[in-house]
């Protein structure tokens, strides 16, 4: 059927309205109201009838009535046409003699006219026909059906459709309430689903005939008895308690109650207060809360149930207070936009349409029911009562185990399992052993059994060892006995066919094929049967709905008691721990140990329960200390536990025994991966020369898929190329099997070769526009890269030959891998780890070729300066690179030499190294290294306060950097140029460059560069007088420094915070910040930071009235500045020189003597004096 909304003022037609239309509207005068309300509708089941008294007449001289399309208590509704324009319209006609009805008609027109919303039908005209005396209202003509017909035809509706209907209704009510209109009769019959173009549906709110309006200038019709508050008007099944009582004060919250009733009915198939008698309905509305919607319909999520429950609070003040508030709650539950399409009008799975459940049950209308026995009640109600839409349960088989321990967590999984069982007839809970599939299935079944006429039955198949015995076990479980001369299967199917039963089949994995055949036969032959299956792999049947059960969520950190306590894994440990040790509870002291236990055990419930049982003889801290030996530690002392659940090893042995030889080989070889793998890596690592199983790469992909299906491998990311991993407990088990197999050296060799290739391919690309993509890939593979490096320490020579790279597990190969990772470590802030690994390998790989050693030493100098000066010298790195003869690496070593010289204030050496480096760089034609050298030249000139000479190379370097696409390089050159503008007093220009640099570094995620740029940007803001923004930058720098463990960055942030406080006169904050900064002086390599701190301390002492101390600290700073050729910011120098001049004047000759004493202090002495001053 075509469902098309013909809106009088919709779409493009607004632009083509004829002059005749405009004239006709104008003639409507005061009776012409703004477009809105009550529509006429055509829908399924409504047959047009002809009424000769008005058919073919011209109502009001301009509306030709064609046929009747509806009838209600106020009159009839006709399809008509506008005489002048031919436009199709709907006209409601009422007898003029019925004054009350006409009053309602005018109220409806006024109410609708006050509202502008796409979810309220448009009213176009209202008046009285002079010829017939008929009152009429003209509306837009809509095609479709109202919600009451939809519910009658389909039964309860799918969740997403219910939410969308509620959202659109809420939007219409929000606009009505904003216009001062309370509808007071929201019910399914007054919510019309009208078709828009393209098959989209829109909810239209109908019938404002009993709406309550706030006072308005149109007329005094609010005084009409049938529309004023105080009368019991509406449909009681949908009326609010205050409406039923006939209270004088009704407000918008009564509409929100009614919408809650509609949503409840759409979700469950019946209104919440449905009773056999009208009086019972009225009393229930006023006194009883309805059963929670998620108990009546278990598939309804808790969030939706909470919205419905709040809307149906008896006391209005406990409901949503505005339609917008309810709308926001509903929108939060929708995954996308709330549009409705015709294709969504399907019944919820398992729903029984009212027309089928009660084919002969009409809607019953009962009039004049007294409500005087209710507080504030009135008489005179028109009540609509419907029979129950579902048959009631008459008998039930109760055959579920009663667990001895409480059920912990899994709320989301319970909701999802219920939803799946409502949507389909076969649901499989699939997951690794020990994840709690059995307990979850019992819990779900116990919560759902009341929804099934014949209850729920649990059948444990773990002890069934032969496929032929499955049928007998299930038949016994459901109470079917073999009959003489009849096959047991036929008998069972015949007896189950009429029953509505939930059947739980537990532990199907060891007989999965036979189980699948029998389950399929049962589903085909027993339409009222639903099955909940637990297994370590799915049954692979058509229509099977799989709920993959992961281990319990584990705490990410163990330092926050609240975070730890919220973890379901921890809650399980604590609950089971109380059984083992009376009074055990989670405290701040024990939380780290419990969190470590749960993380190590991957959140596997059975493993956690076994660990908690150890509290009988051990403390949580002792268990945590021994948990790495999980297979030896976790033996069960529960005598009633099944054999495979008494130890953690037995649990995994059970799964391992069910695998084929090839699956076992794949599992143990995959254990070499840490943090997961992509298919191509698995293919490279699991296949090698001399493999007795002769696995081929294509076979490995299939084997991984099979292991995923058997819940031993976890699919982490199914998008793109996909990624997989092993739970750590499974991995440790498989590693033992790998060692036992004798394959470990060959597999580790393949693993090392795979990740060496990845790192070396990535190294040069990290200097290009491909940087981000490569960083993300290396982030994901960082654990594998570390594991490959760790093989150098742990392993020996590969066995069985193979194609391992030359020098595998020798220092040379490990040094290649560490060098290739150097730039990655730098960009990701892993300075300490990278420098420690590289330094150790450089010292061990003494026989490595000069080129390999030179690359490693250059990487240490330039990209990993965490190796402090002296451990690796520039001369050593340069000599090795010269011997290797690679121009790029020679240039990089010379860059490192220049940086080290600049730190010492040796500008001449720095410039000389940069000149030579530029010669080699130009010979290579590598824009990246040329840009780096130009940037360093700019830094040297800025340090010498030669700003013009600094700007030129910085600009040239920035232009080259942009050509490379390296965001980090572009960012640091923008930073360097911005800092140079700061030195020249161009703070606004500097801030713009620094903010661009910061945005690039944030995209890149280079935390060290972000922190350094923030520090400089904060300085620019400070000079601009924007001290709040400056403090924000410095505080973020400090936060990043702490996260990185970078004490020099932290000291810099503290010293900047101190200076920002000083210029604002906040001496207390300045003292605290200086103390924190100087506490880290031993970690500070850049001497300009120490000079900066001494100047700040001198100013603090001066402001605190201690001029001699101030003079002494000034002297210490001047000595440091001279020794390291430090160039201070000119504005800062001017500020401090003003203070120093004042001190000289006030102290006279004594001041000069103290100044010289400060100059004479060694650096360590001056810093100790500084700390003593700040801690006094």
Binding site for ATP: what residues are annotated?
92
- In angstroms, the CA 165 to CA 119 distance is 11
Neighbours of 463 (CB within 10 A): 9
**Separation of alpha carbons 322 and 333, rounded Å:** 18
β-strands 75-82, 63-72: how paired? antiparallel
| Residue with tokens 């824009």, as numbered in its chain | 927
Residues 6+ apart with CB under 8 A from 595: 554, 555, 557, 558, 564, 567, 570
Query: Measuring CA to CA, how many Å separate 538 from each of 301, 431, 533?
Result: 25, 9, 9
C-beta neighbour count of 262 within 10 angstroms: 26
E-strand ranges in 237-374 read 340-341, 364-367
CA distance 707 to 730: 12
Q: How far apart are CA 910 and CA 654, in angstroms?
A: 67
Both tokens of 133, joined, read 């005396």
SS3 of residue 868 by DSSP: coil
Count of other CB atoms within 10 angstroms of residue 383: 23
Nearest-5° Cα angle at 815, 810 to 819: 160
Q: How far is residue 534's CA from residue 441's CA, in Å, rounded to a whole number?
A: 7
Four-residue CA torsion sign, 334, 340, 346, 347: positive
List the strands of the sheet with 340-341, edge to edge: 40-42, 141-146, 191-195, 200-205, 340-341
Closest CA to 94 of 123, 43, 59: 59
| Closest listed residue to residue 125, CA positions, set 207, 27, 50 | 27
Establish whether 185 is a catalytic residue: yes
Both tokens of residue 1119?
Answer: 């000595």
CA distances from 51 to 3, 68, 70 (A): 25, 7, 11
Give the Cα separation of 981 and 1003 in Å (integer). 24
Decide: helix, strand or coil at residue 544: coil
The answer to whether 1074 and 1090 have CB atoms below 8 angstroms apart is no
Exposed/middle/buried for residue 840 (C-beta within 10 Å: 0-12, 13-18, 19+)? middle
Within 13 Å of residue 1011, how many CA atoms lie on the same side as its CB?
Answer: 26
Q: Which of 146, 185, 1059, 1109 is catalytic?
A: 185
Strand partners, 67: 79
Chain centroid, CA 40 distance in Å:
45
Report the C-alpha gap between 1098 and 1088 in whole angstroms. Answer: 15
Q: What single DSSP character describes residue 1022? A: H
Task: Give long-range contacts, CB 8 A cutoff, 24+ apart: 470-476.
Answer: 470/511, 470/514, 470/515, 470/518, 471/518, 474/503, 474/505, 474/518
Question: Is residue 979 classed exposed, middle or buried when 0-12, 13-18 and 19+ CB atoms within 10 A define those classes?
Answer: buried
Instruction: Give the N- to C-terminal CA distance of the chain in Å, as an integer.
Output: 89
Neighbours of 912 (CB within 10 A): 15
Backbone angles phi, psi at 206, to 5 degrees: -110, 165
E strands in 390-543: 397-399, 426-430, 455-460, 501-506, 529-535
* Distance of alpha carbon 982 from alpha carbon 993, whole angstroms: 10
Which of the residues are catalytic? 185
């Amino acid at each position: 059927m075509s469902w098309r909304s013909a809106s009088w003022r919709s779409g493009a037609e607004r632009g083509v309205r004829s002059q005749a239309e405009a004239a006709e509207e104008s003639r409507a005068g005061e009776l012409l109201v703004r477009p809105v309300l009550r529509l006429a509708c055509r829908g399924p089941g409504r047959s047009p009838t002809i009424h000769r008294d008005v058919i073919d007449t011209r109502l009001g001289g301009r509306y030709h009535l064609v046929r009747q399309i509806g009838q209600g208590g106020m009159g009839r509704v006709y399809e008509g046409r506008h005489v002048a324009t031919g436009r199709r319209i709907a006209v409601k006609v009422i007898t003029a003699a019925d004054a009350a009805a006409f009053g309602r008609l005018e109220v409806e027109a006024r109410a609708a006219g006050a509202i502008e919303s796409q979810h309220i039908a448009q009213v176009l005209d209202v008046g009285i026909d002079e010829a017939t005396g008929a009152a009429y209202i003209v509306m837009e003509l809509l095609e479709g059906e109202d919600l009451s017909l939809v519910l009658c035809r389909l039964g309860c509706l799918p969740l997403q459709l219910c939410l969308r209907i509620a959202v659109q209704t809420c939007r219409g009510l929000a606009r009505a309430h904003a216009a001062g209109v309370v509808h007071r009769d929201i019910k399914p019959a007054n919510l019309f689903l009208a078709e828009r173009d393209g098959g989209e549906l829109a909810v239209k709110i109908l019938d404002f005939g009993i709406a309550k309006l706030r006072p308005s200038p149109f007329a005094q019709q609010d005084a009409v008895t049938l529309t004023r508050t105080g009368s019991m008007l509406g449909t009681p099944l949908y009326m609010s308690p205050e409406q039923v009582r006939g209270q004088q004060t009704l407000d918008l919250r009564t509409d929100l109650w009614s919408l809650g009733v509609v949503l409840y009915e759409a979700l469950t198939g019946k209104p919440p207060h449905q009773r056999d008698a009208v009086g019972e309905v009225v009393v229930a509305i006023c006194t009883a809360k309805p059963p929670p919607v998620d108990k009546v319909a278990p598939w309804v999520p808790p969030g939706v149930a909470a919205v419905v429950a709040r809307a149906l609070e008896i006391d209005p003040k406990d409901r949503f207070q505005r339609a917008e508030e309810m709308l926001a709650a509903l929108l939060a539950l929708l995954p996308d936009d709330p549009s409705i399409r015709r294709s969504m009008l399907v019944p919820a799975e398992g729903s029984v349409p009212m027309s089928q459940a009660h084919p002969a049950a009409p809607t019953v209308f009962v009039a004049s029911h007294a409500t005087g026995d209710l507080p504030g009640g009135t008489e005179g109600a028109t009540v609509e009562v419907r029979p129950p839409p579902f048959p009631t349960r008459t008998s039930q088989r109760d055959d579920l185990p009663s667990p001895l321990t409480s059920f912990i967590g899994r709320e989301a999984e319970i909701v999802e399992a219920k939803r799946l069982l409502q949507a389909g007839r076969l649901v499989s809970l699939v997951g690794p052993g020990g994840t709690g599939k059995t307990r979850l299935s019992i819990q779900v079944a116990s919560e759902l059994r009341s929804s099934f006429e014949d209850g729920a039955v649990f059948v444990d198949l773990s002890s069934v060892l032969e496929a032929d015995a499955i049928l007998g076990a299930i038949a016994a479980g459901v109470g079917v006995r073999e009959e003489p001369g009849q096959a047991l299967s036929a008998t069972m199917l015949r007896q189950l066919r009429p029953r509505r039963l939930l059947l739980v089949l537990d532990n199907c994995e060891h007989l999965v094929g036979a189980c699948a055949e029998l389950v399929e036969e049962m589903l085909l032959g027993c339409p009222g049967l639903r099955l909940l299956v637990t297994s370590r792999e799915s049954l692979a049947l058509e229509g099977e709905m799989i709920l993959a059960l992961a281990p319990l969520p584990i705490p990410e950190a163990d330092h926050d008691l609240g975070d730890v306590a919220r973890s379901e894994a921890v809650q399980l440990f604590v609950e089971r721990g109380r059984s083992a040790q009376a009074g055990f509870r989670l405290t701040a002291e024990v939380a780290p140990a419990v969190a470590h236990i749960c993380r190590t055990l991957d959140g596997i419930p059975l493993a956690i329960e076994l660990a908690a049982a150890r509290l009988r003889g051990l403390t949580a801290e002792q268990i945590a200390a021994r948990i790495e030996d999980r297979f030896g530690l976790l033996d069960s002392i529960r005598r009633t536990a099944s054999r495979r659940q008494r130890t953690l090893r037995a649990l995994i042995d059970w799964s391992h025994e069910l695998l084929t030889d090839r699956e076992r080989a794949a599992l143990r070889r995959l254990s070499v991966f840490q943090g997961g793998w992509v298919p191509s890596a698995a293919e490279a690592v699991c296949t090698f020369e001399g493999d007795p199983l002769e696995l081929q790469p294509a076979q490995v992909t299939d084997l991984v898929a099979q292991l995923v299906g058997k819940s031993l491998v976890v699919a982490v990311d199914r998008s793109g190329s996909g990624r997989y991993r092993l739970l750590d407990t499974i991995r440790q088990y498989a590693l033992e099997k790998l060692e036992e197999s004798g394959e470990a050296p060959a597999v580790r060799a393949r693993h090392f070769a795979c990740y060496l290739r990845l790192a070396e391919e990535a190294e040069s690309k990290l200097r290009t526009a491909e940087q981000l993509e490569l960083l993300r890939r290396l982030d994901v593979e960082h654990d594998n890269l570390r594991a490959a490096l760790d093989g150098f320490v742990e392993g020996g020579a590969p066995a069985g030959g193979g194609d391992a790279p030359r020098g595998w597990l020798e220092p040379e190969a490990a040094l290649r891998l560490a060098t290739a990772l150097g730039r990655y470590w730098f960009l990701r802030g892993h300075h300490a780890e990278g420098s420690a690994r590289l330094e150790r390998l450089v010292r061990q790989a003494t026989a490595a070729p000069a080129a390999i050693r030179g690359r490693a030493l250059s990487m240490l100098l330039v990209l990993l300066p965490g190796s402090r000066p002296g451990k690796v010298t520039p001369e050593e790195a340069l000599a090795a690179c010269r011997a290797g003869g690679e121009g790029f690496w020679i240039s990089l070593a010379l860059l490192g030499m220049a940086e080290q010289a600049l730190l010492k204030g040796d500008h001449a050496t720095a410039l000389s190294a940069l000149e030579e480096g530029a010669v080699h760089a130009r010979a290579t034609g590598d824009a990246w290294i040329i840009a780096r050298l130009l940037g360093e030249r700019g830094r040297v000139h800025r340090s010498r306060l030669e700003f013009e000479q600094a700007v030129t190379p910085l600009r040239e370097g920035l232009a080259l950097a942009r050509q490379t696409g390296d965001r980090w390089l572009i960012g640091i050159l923008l930073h360097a140029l911005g800092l140079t503008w700061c030195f020249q007093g161009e703070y606004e220009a500097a801030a713009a460059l620094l903010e661009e640099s910061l945005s690039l570094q944030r995209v890149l995620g280079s935390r060290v560069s972000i922190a350094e740029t923030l520090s400089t940007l904060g300085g620019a803001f400070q000079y601009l007088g924007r001290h709040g923004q400056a403090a924000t930058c410095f505080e973020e720098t400090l936060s990043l420094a702490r996260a990185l463990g970078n004490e020099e960055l932290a000291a810099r942030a503290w010293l900047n915070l101190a200076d920002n406080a000083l210029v604002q006169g906040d001496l207390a904050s300045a003292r605290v910040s200086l103390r924190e900064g100087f506490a880290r002086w031993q970690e500070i390599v850049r001497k300009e930071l120490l000079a900066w701190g001494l100047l700040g301390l001198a100013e603090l002492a001066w402001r605190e009235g201690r001029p001699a101390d101030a003079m002494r600290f000034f002297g210490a700073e001047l000595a440091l500045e001279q020794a390291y050729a430090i160039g201070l910011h000119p504005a800062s120098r001017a500020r401090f020189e003003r203070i120093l001049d004042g001190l000289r004047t006030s102290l006279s000759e004594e001041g000069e003597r103290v100044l010289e004493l400060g100059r004479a202090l060694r650096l360590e002495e001056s810093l100790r004096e500084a700390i003593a001053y700040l801690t006094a």
